[in-house]
Structure 1
Amino acid sequence: MPALSSSTVPAVLAKLAPLNTPDITDLRPYLATVPDPRSRHGRWYPLHCLLTICACAVISGARTIEEITEWGQRTPFHLLEAIGVRPHPLRRRRSPAACTIDRVLCRIDPHALDTAVCAYLADRHRAATETTPDGDKAAHQAIAVDGKALKGSARTDQAGRHLLSALTHHLPVTLAQTEVGAKTNETRHFLPLLQGLDLAGHVVTCDALHTVQGHLKRLVEDRKAHYVAVVKTNQPTLHAQISALPWDELPLAHTRSEKGHGRRESRSIKVLGIVDSLGGICFPHAKLALRIHRRRRQTGKKQTRETVFAVTSLDAHQATPAQLAALVRGHWAIENSSHHIRDVTFGEDASTVHAGGAPQAMVALRNLAIGALKVTGAVNIAKTTRAIRDLPERALPFFGISHEPDLSGT
């Protein structure tokens, strides 16, 4: 299908990286690795075809299974052919019904789907970062571990689902994801979540829940990675030791102020090398202690202040105070660059999908949509999805799918 002229392309899409289909990795081979839970009898749509339709619909702003079905219903036949829908005996192609999509998402292995999606996003992220200037190397190699509850999945007889994810700081995409029983159970899934990732030379950031000695020790010794871990009172000994360090005697190592969205925020950081003369810190491989002070003033509200402590295995020659501050800030930013988008743009908290593997499968599709948009340079995800919502042909290039009919039969 011929490309749209620049005059017909919305400005938000014109600002993205060129969507040259041959240069973008095709999503379908990755989805083809997901086991099909259906019996062979009566199976009409290939599984990777159904999942591709779901992916294209979600990147177009679909929030529910019904909206995914509606996207397929308004998709022209030549686009369904490009996705891989087989011709109907009456020589027409038709999109799957809502019950078909619902059954597949409920019965699918969500872990296998997460693995396929994360592998695809990791390859896209690697290709995107290789073509950009090095910039801040620490930020390019940072991975955040954070959890999120699926509020709408709870029922009177069923606890809500809770997912733990590993995301990149730079061009945030999800590299790994797993379901955990509850927020308090996140810690035992920390190391298994990172098992399949190449962490050598990378920096893993985590909140206080995952500041566990055994986990971070193995991260450094077995995986050859570094960590930046927030310290709170759930680690009373460590918190007492780090808060007792002579912070008042130190000058500020780095400060930064930002203004926008009706608020003004300033952050400062102090960095102290951990040595025996200061009493030491009882934490494995800790080289530096950090104190981050944040002040925020929002229009019409009182100024708030917060002091946060952290430890890191990075040494002073491996990261500057500004880079350390960016790593801590980058971990907090995951809430805005992933979780907030899933809730506000894709209605995750309002989603009532709760049966089988469907809740986690829908999250995987949202992660896929956000990641594919991020690596192409999208800044405003909501505005970008609105720009492609009514024209299905705009969704396919984001996943490396040509508009031309697929004559190979894949």
Structure 2
Amino acid sequence: MLVKLGPLDAGRIADLRPYFDVVPDPRSRRGRWYSLTALLLVCACAAVSGARSIDELAEWGQRASNALLSVIGIRVHLLRWRRAPSSATIGRVLGAVDGDALDRAVGAYLAERHRVATEPVQDPSLSTPRRRRAIAVDGKALKGSARLTTARRHLLSAVTHGTVVTLAQVEVGAKTNETTHFQPLLAPLDLTGTVITFDALHSVKANVAWLVETKKAHYIAVIKTNQPTAHAQLAALPWRDIAVQHTTSETGHGRRESRSIKTCAIADNLGGIAFPHARLAIRVHRRRKQSGKRETRESVYAVTSLDVHQASPADLAAATRGHWAVENSSHHIRDVTFAEDASTVHAGTAPRAMATLRNLAIGVLKTLGAHNIAKTTRAIRDEPRRALPILGITNNPDTHGT
């Protein structure tokens, strides 16, 4: 599986250590043996090796050789032995670490990895136009984090389409509060010219106006009955008179699905649509046939700030499909490969920190071309030394101060 990742070019893989260096240490100076960067690096290496729990994070360090621990920054004791941090130490640190700072550090690191992985090849003979960058805003509950007196944690993330990396993540109090965190989540990101996709929950007029006017971005907003005026206007458009402009179909997992898309320009002088900066109305019609079940059909309406000269029907179909693909490319992997829903970690910021480490592992492996994260992490787990170059860490301990 590791052969499929391609060559680990040290000149193109950013070193994770400087990013962790800026995360503030929540511990007092007294009695502190391990540096925060070294502790977080143990966790990161364990995560790309498939670790699912705090105990498994510590087990990676216990399997690592003294040479690997030295590279990571684990200091030698006065008695000249070197010991990896215990699960209790890791748990205390993850429970106290600044979740916002850790997410910013990991998001910045993954943004750089994504930029390098997706930058076009400098070949003048290649004239294929580059597709617009698209980012999905989506929420996810950490089911196992709930307790009798505490609701389950809920995270809102900004995730790239295609090569999936999580660029930003914030914790929200409850699912109904997601919309108030939409702008704080995206505010630090450079979104100029980027298409932002989101479901009907986030189709809030103030947020989409902010995207276009302040962040100079574009949006594709799903409109359902929670926006009754806009939904009624979209449903009343003459869709029967508009030809299908693009179709796709796929078969797999006992299911056959086809999707067709129609678009309609929105004329401002005829009243437009009751949604800020809307230029095109979109209708996506889905037909799904599950083995042994009746065929289902569904029409979904959306609006976009892109006009006909900025995005073709095929581009819009790819963007709408790409949004839902985030479920399989990120959330499904976190739940199945990393057992996120089964995790009972609940103390302090530890649930969020564990989710951030899973985002880091998925992002770095995706940018290296991994298609099957479960198989790739198993291959890395067999030999702990394999995790370091994947995170841009060289085998020379003198290249970075600790």
**TM range, smaller chain:** over 0.9
Q: Residues 196-275 of structure 1 correspond to what in structure 2 (within 5 A)?
A: 196-275=188-267
Distance 1:222 1:194, change over 3 A: same
Q: Which residue of 2 aligns with 1:137?
A: 130
Structure 1: gaps of 5 or more residues: 1-11
**What is the CA–CA distance in structure 1 between the aligned matches of 2:73 and 2:13, rounded to whole Å?**
18
Paired position in structure 1 for 2:23: 34
* Distance across 2 between alignment mates of 1:409 and 1:314: 48
**What is the match of residue 355 of structure 2?**
363
> TM-score, length-normalised on structure 2?
0.96
4+ aligned runs moved over 4 Å, structure 1: 131-136, 276-279
CA separation in 1, counterparts of 2:263 and 2:311? Answer: 11
Q: Matched residues in 1 for 2:261 and 2:53: separation?
A: 43
The equivalences for 1:166-177 within 5 A come to: 166-177=158-169
Distance in 2, Cα, partners of 1:236 & 1:73: 57
Structure 2: gaps (5+ residues): none
Pick aligned residue for 2:283 from 267, 291, 304: 291
Distance in 2 of aligned mates of 1:243 and 1:314: 20
- The residue that corresponds to 1:46 in the other structure is 35
- Deviation (angstroms), 1:48: 0.4
* CA distance in 2: counterparts of 1:406 and 1:392, whole angstroms: 20
Letter in 2 for 1:312: T
SS of residue paired to 2:314: helix
Report the Cα distance in structure 1 between the residues aligned to 2:234 and 2:361, rounded to whole angstroms. Answer: 41
CA contact (8 A) 2:12 2:116 kept: no
Cα separation, 1, equivalents of 2:400 and 2:150:
45
**3-state SS in 1 of match to 2:59:** helix
Give the Cα separation in 2 of the matches to 1:407 and 1:322.
Answer: 47
Task: Give the whole-Å Cα distance in 1 for the aligned partners of 2:207 and 2:128.
Answer: 30
TM-score (norm. length: structure 1): 0.94
Distance 1:174 1:71, change over 3 A: same
Residue from 39, 62, 68 that aligns with 1:73 = 62
1:336 to 328, 339, 343: 328
How far did residue 101 of structure 1 move? 0.3
Corresponding residue for 1:114?
103
Secondary structure at the aligned position of 2:273 is classed as coil
Specify whether residues 24 and 167 from structure 1 end up closer, same or farther in structure 2 by C-alpha distance, changes over 3 A only.
Answer: same
| Residue 264 (structure 1) shift | 1.2
Q: Could you say what secondary structure the match of 1:352 adopts?
A: coil
Amino acid in structure 1 at the alignment position of 2:130? K
Matches of 1:329 and 1:276, distance apart in 2: 28
Is 2:145–2:344's contact at 8 Å kept on the other side of the alignment?
yes
Please, which of 167, 181, 198 is the counterpart of residue 189 of structure 1?
Answer: 181
Q: Distance in 1 between matches of 2:161 and 2:129?
A: 11
- Number of the residue aligned with 2:117: 128
- Identical amino acids, percent of aligned pairs: 66
Alpha-carbon contact 1:253-1:270 (below 8 Å) kept:
yes
Deviation at 1:405, TM superposition (A): 3.4
Q: Contact 1:269–1:291 (CA<8 Å) still a contact in 2?
A: yes
Task: Give the whole-Å Cα distance in 1 for the aligned partners of 2:180 and 2:62.
Answer: 43
186 and 323 in structure 1: CA distance in 2 versus 1, 3 angstrom threshold: same
Instruction: Write the distance in 1 (CA, Å) between the matches of 2:149 and 2:29.
Output: 33
Name which of 312, 322, 327 aligns with 1:320: 312
CA drift of 1:296 comes to 1.3
Distance between the aligned counterparts of 1:160 and 1:275, measured in 2? 45
Alpha-carbon distance between aligned partners in 2 of 1:244 and 1:277, rounded to the nearest angstrom = 17
> Matched residues in 1 for 2:366 and 2:259: separation?
26
Rounded to whole Å, the distance in 2 between the matches of 1:284 and 1:136 is 28
State the shift of 1:243 in Å: 0.5
Q: CA offset at residue 261 of structure 1?
A: 2.0
Q: How many Å separate the matches in 1 of 2:65 and 2:252? A: 42
Instruction: Find the aligned partners of 1:108 and 1:284 in 2 and give their Cα distance.
Output: 39
Q: Deviations over 1:169-221 (max 9, x none)?
A: 13110111100111110001111111100111111111000111111011111
Maintained 8 Å contact 1:84/1:406: no
* Deviation (angstroms), 1:31: 0.4
